[in-house]
Amino acid sequence: MTDISRLTHYFSNHGPVVLLESQLKSHSWAQKSYLAAQPKAVIKARDDQIKISTEGQSKQWEGNPWQALRDFREKYDDWMFGYFGYDLKNHLEDISSTNADDVQAPDLFFMVPDLLLSVNHQTNQIEVLRGSISEEELKDIDPNSAGNCQIGDLEPQVSKSEYISRIKDAKFHIAKGNCYEVNISHQLQGCFGGSSLSLYSKMKEAGAVPFGSYLQTDDLSICCQSPERFIRKEDDHIFSQPIKGTSPRGVTKEEDQMLREQLVTSQKEQAENVMIVDLVRNDLSKIARPGSVSVANLFEIQSFETVHQMVSTIEAQTDCEDAITILESCFPMGSMTGAPKLRSMQIIEELENYRRGIYSGAIGYINPAGNFDFNVVIRTAIVKGDKLYYSVGGAITSDSDPQKEWDETIVKARALSEIKKTTTP
């Protein structure tokens, strides 16, 4: 059968699609990929404005997005694919977002697909879970039709001096005891032309990840190359895998091993990681069976194509059968906020100059049995019209160097700048 990339391109020409792609076929986390298309129902939310669209009909009202999604799931009782935007936090805590928002994306988007495909990476077989694909449709799929893209220069929306000043302010909060660690970010913007799916393909070529995703709605596209899992549920087992601690891969085998060992023994990286582990333990305990929360793996080093990363796994058993309750209890991922979570989110709103939107949220699925899997939205390009948006950031601690923190965000942005060189002028 035609591969999943060509199918994604074909169905993206006929409406919204969600591709959840495990790109590292040999990785223990990368067993399956999913392509959802031809939605029979869609729910969107922006602040307290809820909208549900079905075939030829729509309904709009004011309400709580989390409760609206819970009701939506109960009504359709089927597979759901989509995303939670970071600012859904405003419906979980006494907090608001008043910063500028150039993207204007929904805070929440989920769809119930009429067509659902699953790829088993062990057998390399595609299974049709919902709907059907005709031979005529397969014949219409052009293997060379994904097109190309053009990326303009990516410009930070904050100056270097402003960002450094904000890092100093974050360190002041830490010194005052308001938080132990806080994740500060900024957004870059540039012009974009051509195919967003082509951009996603180029991002994948630059470095495969276990939790890649491509999501296209009526007015925007999300190209996500995430190495990080937010939370997964399998029956009564839930687990989260925060990443804190990164090292580049070496050019030679010897250099690569040296850099890996430096990450393994870095007290700074371990300190950052364990703060988030404690936060995630606390989040899981809200819906876990008493006494079941445990750290299954602390400071594990996972090696990807371009980086080594420090990953910890926190797990628990739960008697909660409502997927939405579990997700809202743990949202947003602690690695994107800092600790303690609420105070860190308040500081983020104070120090950042933009509304994060989709960035720092989660993309994934919920199945009819209530099992789910979501990533963390990082290393993600958002395309809307002729503009591209890309956010970068890092965890700030008491010993962070403001100049180095700025430099690190620019290095992270280079991932997209390098792709720019391969695009059509």
Q: Find the range with the poorest average confidence among 35-39, 145-149, 317-321, 420-424.
A: 420-424
Q: What are 32's strand-pairing partners?
A: 120
- pTM of the predicted structure, to 2 decimals: 0.95
The full set of domain ranges for the chain reads 4-236+319-420, 237-318
Q: Is 342:196 a contact under the CB 8 Å cutoff?
A: no
Provide mean pLDDT across the span 154-179: 98
DSSP tag of 250: P
Name the amino acid, one letter, at 307.
V
How far is Cα 420 from Cα 414, in angstroms, rounded to an integer? 9
**Cα 57 to Cα 112: distance, rounded to the nearest angstrom:** 15
The tens digit of pLDDT for each residue in 113-145 reads 999 999 988 788 889 999 988 767 766 676 566
Helix (H) or strand (E) holding 339: strand 338-339
Averaged confidence pLDDT in the chain: 93
Q: Is the pLDDT of residue 415 over 90?
A: no
Quick one: which of 251, 359, 242 has its CA closest to 302?
242
H, E, C per residue of 15-54:
CCEEEEECCCCCCCCCCEEEEEEEEEEEEEEECCEEEEEE
- Closest by alpha carbon to 31, among 123, 115, 129? 123
d(CA 151, CA 194): 9
User: Which of helix, strand or coil describes residue 5?
Assistant: helix
What is the C-alpha to C-alpha distance for residues 323 and 329, in angstroms, rounded to an integer? Answer: 10
Q: What is the pLDDT of residue 329?
A: 97
Average pLDDT over residues 203-224: 95
- Secondary structure class of 153 (helix, strand, coil): coil
Buried b (16+ CB within 10 A) or exposed e, 231-253: bbbeeeebbbbbbbbbbeeeeee
Q: Which structure tokens are listed for 270?
A: 């371990």
Q: Which CATH number fits domain 4-236+319-420: 3.30.210.10, 3.60.120.10, 3.40.50.10420, 3.90.1310.10?
A: 3.60.120.10
- Tokens standing for 276? 């988030």
- β pairing state of 108-120 and 80-84: antiparallel
The residues facing 53 across adjacent strands are 42, 58
* Tens of pLDDT, residues 28-85: 666 899 999 999 999 999 999 999 999 889 999 999 999 999 999 999 999 999 999 9
CA dist., res. 190 & res. 24, Å (int): 29
Tens digits of residue pLDDT in 88-106: 999 999 999 999 999 999 9
Please state, in angstroms and rounded to a whole number, the distance separating the CA atoms of residues 398 and 286.
Answer: 29
